[in-house]
Structure formats: structure tokens, C-alpha cells
Amino acid sequence: MSISTAATAHLASTAEQEAYLHLQRALRVGRYKPGERLIPEEIAAEIGMSRMPVREAFRRLAADGLVTLRPNRGCVVAGLTLDEIHETFEIRSVLEGLAVRLATPRMNSETFEELERLLERMERAGQSGSSDWVLRHQEFHALIYNLSGRPKLIRQINALHVAIEPYMRIWFDYVDKPLSAREEHQKLIDALRSGDARHAEAVMQEHIIETASMLADYASPGRP
């Protein structure tokens, strides 16, 4: 491969990554709704690039399950049914439970101090009605599962969080704040402090499964 060819390939790859991250963020915050068609020309103009990297980004998003590529309709935003929401949380419970079991031996006093700080930020966001609660919640969980030291596991958990984040935001929009969030996450911190990896795994799994039923109520069809 010549230097010019390699440079062109690198630029194309960089543009595709930029388009992918741009669209992923937009989908996570609910900018596009389930069933909405994504127009590559409009998105390319918005980002300031050609259509080709946008189309490549569509393929990556389809592999993530965030969009569907349909004949004659192009790229359509995927939506989760109630059953799929529950399934996503069931998978999360297993994978994050495993991550907790692997992460527990790697935790120290600094880890718990940071978890407490993140919990405080989550609480403040909830009290103010800020949608930052969803971001703070994600940061709390990410701190834990990133300590698992398993890159493939971390990527899979991240993908599940991306898929469910729009529904988390819907949930937050329809409640003053998740009232039990402080207690539930403090219970998880206490389980991690115990050093009992199996106990911490069970607490994480229970926490995620309980969240699924509450969130599904607010993501169900018919709500405004």
C-alpha cells in the first residue's frame, strides 16, 4: 500500500469513527425516535463530511442493534419492545454480575471513595431534576465494570448501556427522581466493601433486574 493510499484509508476510517460516535451520542440521548429514518445526506452535511463514512457508520450501528438497515427504507432507528427491554436487563444482570465478581478483588479504599463521590453527584443531579442523573448513573456502573479487566466483557456491557440509555432518560423524564436510587447504590457499595465477590455479584444482579421492571413501566406504549 502506498503512503497516499494509506493516508486516504486512515482519513476514511477517522471520518467513519467520527460519524459513528456522533450518531451513537444522538441515539443515546433520544434525539432520534424509534422508527425514524436517518438520511445520510442530512447527517453528512451536519457533520461536514461525505455520505460514505456516514453509510459505514450506519452498518456499525446496525451491528450494535441501534438501527436497522431495510431495503427501500434505508437506515431506520431501532426501538426496543418491552420484552426486549427486559431481555437487555437480564443480559446486563449476568454480564455486570460477572464483572463485579472479577472487579471486587481489585478494589481499594480509593475505589470506594470514588464510588461515594459518584453517588453524591448522582443524588445531586436527581434532586435538581437534571438529566445528568443518567450520565452519573452510567459513570457509577462503568467505574465498577471497568475494573473487571476483561476488555471484551466491558465492550459488551457498554453496548447494552448504549441500547438502554434512551429508555433510562424516558424513565427519568416521568419521575421526580428515582427515589430508591441512593439506597440501592449504597447497598451495592456496602456489598463491594465486604470483599465477598459472590455476594456483590448477587446484589448487582438483583439491582439491575429490579430496575428493569420500573423502567419498563415508563417506556411502555401509550405514555406521552
Summarize pLDDT for 147-181 with one digit per residue, the tens. Answer: 999 999 999 999 899 888 877 776 666 555 555 67
Round the average pLDDT of the chain to a whole number and report it: 85
Tell me: the pLDDT tens digits for 192-221?
A: 999 999 999 999 999 999 888 777 665 554
Q: Do 61 and 103 belong to one domain?
A: no
Last residue of a domain, one of 60, 77, 94: 77
Q: Which domain holds residue 22?
A: 3-77
CA-CA-CA-CA dihedral for 213, 214, 216, 219, to nearest 10: 180
What pTM does this model have? 0.73
Report the domain count for the chain.
Answer: 2
Alpha helices by DSSP H, the chain = 3-28, 40-47, 51-64, 82-103, 109-128, 132-146, 151-173, 181-193, 197-219
Identify which of 159, 144, 128 has the alpha carbon closest to the alpha carbon of residue 192. 144
Q: What is the pLDDT of residue 52?
A: 93
Which one-letter DSSP state was computed for residue 34?
T
Greatest mean pLDDT among 8-12, 87-91, 165-169 lies in: 87-91
Which one-letter DSSP state was computed for residue 39?
-
- Taken as a whole, the chain contains a residue count of 224
Q: How far apart are the first and last CA of the chain?
A: 55
* 46 located within any domain: yes
* 93 located within any domain: yes
